[in-house]
């Protein structure tokens, strides 16, 4: 289930394996970008002979944690996340973490999420004088306006700033996000990019039978959306864009892969749209490869893994000019970017794709070529160097009492 390799712990010499305590409120089998990225980082650390202890909420009452020579899961109590069905947040567990880490000290604590469990990890690490790094994955302050809590946007951002400024460094996925957060008082930010599995996501997974199940033949067009079906994903623009495309190509289909609180209403209002639900692994990869373009109009992403997954699958992507799209899409060469939060521009870019199919296919081929250069091994190497730098810097402070200092760019 966790796809964790069972390695003989026999690292090459001279090599110093580290013990990393990773704390996250989400992890597979939950399906979301944060869980996926956390699992990838765990796999990268293990493949480099480090030991990872993952602390996360129990997702099912019967669930048992995995334990191998290089990977240990500690499952703690959790509750469903308010207004975000399918995700759980950990309950405060400072005393439990202190006992755990006092018995076997990690070299570094890595905090993936900012909930009560993450807060507890900061408190426990401070008590035990352990170095802490954190990761910024989710724009919760931006989400608030989509859940009737716009007035909480400022306090949420203030909490996130306080939370991350407790750590030696905060990892962000793009330079643009680093600049945005730095301008609002976040300190010690370090870019560690994200990659894509180009063996899993590939155009070769095109599936004729899957397309037929969508009611489309070899020469019809399929617009795809992949992601959570929730208010913060700007789903009305997906539907509106599709309706414009459908007007010029009546046989076109829209497939919306994912699940979430908006699914039932979307299905009821759009009976001609295909809703295959949540898909994972090779099944998800076939959905990407069997479509013709990806529509991704979200304005609340810190990155957007689906952009790279679609590119690796040979799809031209239409997305707003920020996050993963700004980092990886060269407009007119391997995809199309619309001015941020401009729905008319987004629709126009999508229409330009379906009006010139040969150009769309050219963009898709170039997208695949671009994705082949975004290798997870390179990113794991960068992440490992950062962790080693943090640990060495902390140990140079001897007793751990020195003030937080900047981690140098890698």
Res. 123: pLDDT tops 90: yes
More confident residue, 408 or 275: 275
Residues 6+ apart with CB under 8 A from 60: none
Helix (H) or strand (E) segment spanning residue 287? helix 281-289
* Separation CA 214–CA 204 (nearest Å): 19
Count the neighbouring beta carbons within 10 Å of the beta carbon of residue 329.
25
Res. 62: pLDDT tops 90: no
User: Which is nearest to 375 in space by CA: 119, 109, 44, 4?
Assistant: 44
In 34-151, the DSSP E strands lie at 51-57, 71-76, 78-80, 88-90, 108-111, 132-135
pLDDT at position 407, please?
A: 40
Count the neighbouring beta carbons within 10 Å of the beta carbon of residue 159.
15
Arithmetic mean of pLDDT, 127-146: 74
3 state DSSP class of 146:
helix
Res. 6: pLDDT tops 50: no
Question: Which residues make up the CATH 3.40.50.2000 domain(s) of the chain?
Answer: 19-195+375-396, 203-371
**CATH superfamily of the domain spanning 19-195+375-396:** Glycogen Phosphorylase B; (3.40.50.2000)
Average pLDDT, the chain: 89
* Separation CA 84–CA 385 (nearest Å): 35
More confident residue, 408 or 353: 353
Res. 297: pLDDT tops 50: yes
Helix (H) or strand (E) segment spanning residue 158? helix 153-164
Arithmetic mean of pLDDT, 200-214: 97
Lowest model confidence (mean pLDDT) among 57-61, 101-105, 368-372: 57-61
Write out pLDDT tens, residues 277-294. Answer: 999 999 999 999 999 999
Count CA within 13 A, CB hemisphere, residue 100.
23
Arithmetic mean of pLDDT, 25-43: 92
pLDDT at position 144, please?
A: 39
pLDDT at position 86, please?
A: 62
Write out pLDDT tens, residues 75-109. Answer: 999 887 766 656 678 889 999 999 999 999 999 99
Helix (H) or strand (E) segment spanning residue 265? helix 263-269
**Ranges of H-type helices in 165-195:** 175-182
pLDDT at position 87, please?
A: 67
Residue whose token pair is 């295959």: 276
Lowest model confidence (mean pLDDT) among 21-25, 98-102, 201-205, 376-380: 376-380
Arithmetic mean of pLDDT, 364-386: 93
* Separation CA 108–CA 134 (nearest Å): 11
Percent residues over pLDDT 90 in the chain: 76
Model confidence at 16, pLDDT cuts 50, 70, 90, reads confident
pLDDT at position 152, please?
A: 52
Model confidence at 402, pLDDT cuts 50, 70, 90, reads very low
Torsional class of 281: left (φ above 0), alpha (ψ -120 to 50), beta (otherwise): left
Arithmetic mean of pLDDT, 62-78: 91
Residue 222 bridge partners (DSSP): 253
CATH of domain 203-371: 3.40.50.2000
Burial of 278 (0-12, 13-18, 19+ CB in 10 A): middle
Arithmetic mean of pLDDT, 309-337: 97
Write out pLDDT tens, residues 232-266. Answer: 899 999 999 999 999 999 999 999 999 999 999 99
Q: Give me the DSSP letters along 112-131.
A: ---SHHHHHHHHHHHHHT--
Lowest model confidence (mean pLDDT) among 74-78, 110-114, 136-140, 142-146: 142-146
**By the 8 A CB rule, do 168 and 132 touch?**
yes
Question: Could you tell me the CA-to-CA distances from 182 to 129, 161, 188, 267, 403 in Å, in that order?
Answer: 26, 10, 8, 41, 20
Arithmetic mean of pLDDT, 61-69: 88
Res. 373: pLDDT tops 50: yes
* Separation CA 168–CA 400 (nearest Å): 12
Res. 367: pLDDT tops 60: yes
Q: Kindly tell me the sign of the dihedral angle through the C-alpha atoms of 18, 24, 28, 31.
A: negative
**By the 8 A CB rule, do 263 and 285 touch?**
no
Q: What backbone torsions phi and psi does residue 222 show, to the nearest 5 degrees?
A: -125, 120
Residue 111 bridge partners (DSSP): 23, 134
């Amino acid at each position: 289930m966790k796809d964790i390799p069972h390695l003989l712990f026999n690292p090459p010499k001279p090599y110093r394996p580290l013990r990393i305590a990773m704390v996250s409120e989400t992890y597979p089998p939950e399906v979301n970008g944060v869980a996926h990225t956390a699992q990838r980082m765990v796999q990268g650390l293990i493949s480099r002979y480090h030991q990872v202890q993952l602390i996360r909420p129990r997702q099912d009452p019967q669930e048992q944690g995995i334990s191998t020579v290089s990977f240990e899961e500690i499952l703690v109590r959790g509750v469903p996340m308010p207004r975000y069905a399918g995700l759980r947040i950990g309950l405060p567990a400072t005393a439990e973490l202190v006992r755990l880490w006092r018995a076997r000290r990690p070299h570094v604590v890595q905090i993936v999420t900012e909930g009560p469990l993450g807060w507890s990890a900061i408190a426990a690490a401070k008590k035990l004088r352990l170095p802490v790094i954190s990761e910024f994955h989710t724009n919760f302050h931006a989400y608030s306006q989509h859940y009737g809590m716009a007035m909480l946007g400022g306090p949420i951002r203030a909490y996130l700033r306080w939370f991350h400024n407790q750590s030696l460094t905060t990892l962000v996925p793009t330079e643009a996000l680093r600049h945005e957060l730095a301008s609002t008082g976040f300190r010690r930010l370090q870019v560690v990019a994200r990659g894509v599995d180009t063996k899993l996501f590939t155009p070769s997974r095109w599936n004729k039978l899957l397309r037929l199940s969508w009611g489309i033949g070899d020469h019809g067009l399929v617009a795809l959306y992949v992601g959570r079906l929730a208010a913060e994903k700007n789903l009305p623009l997906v539907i509106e864009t599709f309706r414009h495309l459908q007007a010029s190509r009546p046989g076109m289909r829209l497939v919306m892969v994912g699940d979430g609180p908006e699914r039932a209403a979307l299905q009821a209002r759009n009976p001609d749209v295909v809703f295959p639900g949540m898909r994972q692994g090779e099944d998800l990869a076939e959905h990407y490869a069997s479509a013709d373009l990806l529509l991704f109009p979200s304005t609340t992403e810190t990155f957007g893994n689906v952009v790279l997954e679609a590119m690796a699958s040979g799809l031209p992507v239409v997305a707003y000019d920020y996050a993963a799209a700004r980092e990886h899409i060269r407009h007119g060469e391997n995809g199309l970017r619309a001015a941020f939060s401009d729905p008319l521009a987004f629709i126009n870019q999508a229409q330009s794709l379906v009006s010139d199919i040969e150009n769309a296919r050219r963009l898709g081929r170039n997208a695949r070529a671009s994705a082949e250069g975004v290798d997870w091994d390179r990113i794991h190497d960068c992440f490992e160097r950062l962790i080693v730098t943090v640990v060495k810097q902390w140990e140079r402070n001897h007793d751990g009492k020195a003030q937080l200092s900047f981690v140098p760019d890698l």
